[in-house]
Amino acid sequence: MIEINSTSRIKGEIYVPGDKSISHRAAFLGALTRDGVEVSNFSPGQDCASTLACLEAMGCAVEQDKAFNTVKIKAPTGLKEPKDVLDAKNSGTTARLLLGLLSGIPNLFAVVTGDESLKRRPMGRVVKPLVAMGAKIDGREFGERLPLAVRGRKLSGGVHALQVASAQVKTAILLAGLGAQGATSVIEPSPTRDHTEIMLEYLGVPILKDGLRVTVYPTSSIPGGSWRIPGDFSAAAFWIVAAAITAESELRIKEVNVNPTRTGLLGVLERMGLDYAIEDETLSGGERMATVAVRSSRLKGTTVSPEEVPSLIDELPVLAVAATQAEGITEIRGARELRVKESDRIHAMAINLKALGAQIQETDDGWIIEGRTTLSGGRAKSFGDHRVAMAMAVAGLVATGPVRIEDEECVSISYPGFFDDLTKLTQTCLKEVSS
Ligand code: S3P
């Protein structure tokens, strides 16, 4: 258990870990290239380690320099049938992208599983379109839950209109489409993160983007490439909110991915009164990368609409914390998807923030939060969910008493150095406690 104490300022400069979504994609696409992919600033989190382990089990050569987070990945003789079950552990992206990759490798047999949390999460959303392409997948609850068994075969493309806005599902279909017969199109109900499309373009793979529709074609050879993965905006989000809600803060977060499909939080916080700037923007691997500079801000409430949700889905737990410190009512709607993440994040954040005295009402698809509340000290549960643990640590920075977070080690899923960075930025506010 860890204890967070309040601070009045978050000052300085920080680099956050490499983007998790982009790292997964670099590994998966690297496995399909002729000459391999070499990236620096690969995500140090456990989720991306799960992806690398699954790909290694299928004969990929993975060379990692952990000191620099450099990863080289290549499958010199193609992907092979794994000798054992592939374990995606806590990582939804690993499981769903793997299903797409495996489905189209003729004759290969593999079983994909995960931890207790992942075994509860929906897989039908990816299994159904893959089955429509000809995939053979079966498993628990008629293919809805892991473990799932795949017998790879030659797939056919087609047009897939998605029911859920999900970049993981889109990516799984596009991965399957690269080896399928004919063109494969995905039509999304609303835009989701487009890292796969950007990376395919960067690697020289033909791809057609037309509004909400994206199409790939059978591709026999992808050369490979080398680039630096920008910092994870979803990791930066904790520091953006921390700096905004503490009294005398001034923070620069360097080399962050500012892909607009990811930065919805900035738009919402801007409406709430955030004092920030985007500086020194460049491109890395086709992705936008910049410094995000944030100062203490007087926030006011806002309404987050369902259309905005995909661009800030992973940032909603920490936005809920910001809302407790904003004047007036903040309403978040259309975020039912949060109930099927690593934990039921709507419930987890409502329970935790209520325990600190916040005025938060859980709705079917979001929260209604009334601020500004002075949060008290207390206990928070991570629910084994990295983003819940980190959001509650940010709440602890403005609470009047210590906030103790149970099972905080789960931050290593995406941000193993989170508490070290918290110590660096705040100097004094962290303590390990036994119970
Ligand atoms: C991700 C997509 C999002 C996001 C998840 C990572 C990705 O999930 O919440 O953390 O890397 O494609 P969905 O695909 O379910 O929207």
**Who's near 276: CB < 8 A, 6+ residues apart?**
240, 266, 269, 270, 292, 293, 294, 295, 297
Residues 363 and 369: their CA atoms lie apart, in Å, by: 10
Report which ligand 1 atom has the smallest distance to the Cα of 234: 10
What's the CATH number of domain 2-17+231-432, 3.40.50.300, 3.40.50.10490, 3.65.10.10, 1.10.1060.10? 3.65.10.10
Report which ligand 1 atom has the smallest distance to the Cα of 337: 15
Please tell me the predicted confidence (pLDDT) of residue 419.
96
Residues 127 and 91: their CA atoms lie apart, in Å, by: 16
List the Cα angle 107/118/378 in 5-degree steps: 165
How far from chain centre, in Å, is Cα 120? 18
- Do the two domains 2-17+231-432 and 20-228 of this chain adopt the same fold? yes
Please tell me the predicted confidence (pLDDT) of residue 422.
95
- Residue 62 token pair: 């993975």
Distance from Cα 93 to the centre of ligand 1, integer Å: 7
Report which ligand 1 atom has the smallest distance to the Cα of 167: 14
DSSP-assigned beta bridge partners for residue 209? 214
Pair 52, 66: CB distance under 8 Å: no
- CA nearest neighbour of 25 among 258, 236, 229: 229
Residue 341's SS3 state is coil
Would residue 210 show up in a list of annotated catalytic residues for this protein?
no
Please tell me the predicted confidence (pLDDT) of residue 257.
98
- Residue 23 token pair: 């790292």
Residues 43 and 61: their CA atoms lie apart, in Å, by: 18
- Furthest CA-CA distance within the chain: 61
The type of residue at 12 is G
**Who's near 49: CB < 8 A, 6+ residues apart?**
none
How far the first Cα of the chain sits from its last, in Å, is 6
Angle, helix 124-132 to helix 92-103, in steps of 10 degrees: 10
Residue positions forming the annotated binding site for phosphoenolpyruvate: 20, 92, 121, 168, 345, 387
- Domain spans of the chain? 2-17+231-432, 20-228
Residue from 166, 263, 337, 413 whose mutation best tests the ligand 1 pocket (most atoms within 8 A of CB): 166
Distance from Cα 171 to the centre of ligand 1, integer Å: 10
The type of residue at 174 is L
Distance from Cα 341 to the centre of ligand 1, integer Å: 9
Residue from 19, 21, 190 whose mutation best tests the ligand 1 pocket (most atoms within 8 A of CB): 21
Residue 119's SS3 state is helix
Report CA-CA distances (Å) from 297 to 9, 99, 322, 424.
12, 44, 11, 21
Residues 377 and 270: their CA atoms lie apart, in Å, by: 28
Q: Which residues line ligand 1 (CB under 6 A)?
A: 21, 24, 93, 166-168, 171, 192-193, 313-314
One pLDDT digit (tens) per residue for the chain, 435 residues: 999 999 889 999 999 999 999 999 999 999 999 999 999 999 999 999 999 999 999 999 999 998 879 999 999 899 999 999 999 999 999 999 999 999 999 999 999 999 999 999 999 999 999 999 999 999 999 999 999 999 999 999 999 999 999 999 999 999 999 999 999 999 999 999 999 999 999 999 999 999 999 999 999 899 999 999 999 999 999 999 999 999 999 999 999 999 999 999 999 999 999 999 999 999 999 999 999 999 999 999 999 999 999 999 999 999 999 999 999 999 999 999 999 999 999 999 999 999 999 999 999 999 999 999 999 999 999 999 999 999 999 999 999 999 999 999 999 999 999 999 999 999 766 777 776
Pair 366, 347: CB distance under 8 Å: no
Catalytic site residue from 47, 232, 314, 344: 314
Report which ligand 1 atom has the smallest distance to the Cα of 170: 14
pTM greater than the 0.95 cutoff: yes
Give the CA-trace dihedral at 37, 38, 41, 42, to 10 degrees: 40
DSSP-assigned beta bridge partners for residue 214? 186, 209
Residue from 48, 51, 93, 98 whose mutation best tests the ligand 1 pocket (most atoms within 8 A of CB): 93
Distance from Cα 310 to the centre of ligand 1, integer Å: 9
Report CA-CA distances (Å) from 131 to 92, 161, 172.
19, 14, 12
Write down how long the chain is: 435
Q: What is the DSSP string of 376-428?
A: PPEEEE-TT-HHHHHHHHHHHTT-SS-EEEETGGGGGGT-TTHHHHHHHHHSS
Please give, one letter per residue, the 3-state secondary structure of 62-103. EEEECCCCEEEEECCCCCCCCCCCEECCCCHHHHHHHHHHHH
Output DSSP code: residue 276: E
Distance from Cα 264 to the centre of ligand 1, integer Å: 14
Question: For the structural domain made of 20-228, what CATH number should be given?
Answer: 3.65.10.10
Residue 408 φ then ψ, to 5° = -80, -10
Residue of minimum CA distance from atom 13 in ligand 1: 166
Residues 62 and 59: their CA atoms lie apart, in Å, by: 9
Sheet holding 275-284, edge to edge: 11-15, 250-257, 287-295, 275-284
The type of residue at 302 is T
Please tell me the predicted confidence (pLDDT) of residue 10.
94
Please tell me the predicted confidence (pLDDT) of residue 114.
98
